[in-house]
Amino acid sequence: MEIQKNQSGQTKCVDMEDLEFINRLAKTPLTAEEVYTFSVRLCDNEVDRDWERFDETALSSLGDLLMGKSGIFDHQWSAEGQTARIYRTEVVREAAQVTAAGDGYCYLKGWAYLLRSEKNRDLIAEIEGGIKKEVSIGCSVARSACSICGAESGTCSHVRGERYGGKLCFAELREPTDAYEWSFVAVPAQRNAGVLKRFGQENGELAQLKKQAELGKKYLKQLRREVVRLAMLADDGLDGETFAKAAERLEEPELLALQQAYGASVNKRFPAAPQLRNFAAAEQGDETAFLV
């Protein structure tokens, strides 16, 4: 996240529009002199350190969910740790910036307020001095989709952080269902802000999908080994290590085609020895066919 002020070293002036938003959350109407406001970059659509990101629609939904949510420290859920509250949000687009996924960059901006009290005096000074800067949000989402094939993340063979046909693989977080809080942290997951992501309890269907995905990965691993084995039998000059690395990038259809092709070559090169009785030799009384 990024602390944003109108002028360096100066607090933002609270206008009537801001005060109206703030007083919708306050039990007792507050004046401009009683509150301190600042804006934060809560989260964005850039791929983070966990190879995950929110899509733009999710950012907009998070903005609605974070309205009125309190700010705490290090995601420690305590009533005493509540320091500030979000009173307005907006998705901001930066046309000149492009994400690692290749699309336009945007982020969720939040406006927060806290009371000008003796208790908050040091915190206000730390915000003004740039000490308290990074934030992270706590939320849950309904879906985590693979950026390559769109399947539920973890149920396909694509690996986060790898590229397929020049396209980066990551998990796209969609359909936020809740936002718990936002918190000042030391090191956020997102490079520009920070996101603490939490998923709901796994249902039976998702658990089954994950089990099937593990079986699929095991099957592909065995299939790749078989293709490499057949290829080396079919061609003595083949570099097995290089071919094995190439096979790691192939999916089931290509592997099955290679298995069939190399299998046919191996059968031609190493035909099976006949194990049936040589009837012609037997009829002539030649017993050499049975000598071992």
Give per-residue pLDDT as tens, 189-241.
545 543 334 444 444 455 566 667 777 888 888 999 999 999 988 888 888 88
Rounded CA separation 285/272 (Å): 26
With a CB cutoff of 8 Å and minimum separation 6, the contacts of 263 are 230
pLDDT of residue 160: 93
pLDDT of residue 249: 87
Give, for 29, the enclosing helix (H) or strand (E).
none
In 147-290 the beta strands, taken as DSSP E runs, fall at: 163-164, 167-168, 171-184, 195-199
Mean pLDDT on 272-289:
55
Cα–Cα distance for residue pair 65/69, rounded to 1 Å:
8
* CB proximity list for 248: less than 8 A, separation 6 or greater: 224
Residue 70, classed as helix, strand or coil, is strand
* Beta pairing partners, 183: 72, 136
According to the model, what pLDDT value does residue 142 have? 92
Q: Residue 75 has what pLDDT? A: 54
Mean residue pLDDT across the chain: 80
pLDDT at 275 over 70: no
Q: What is the pTM of this model?
A: 0.60
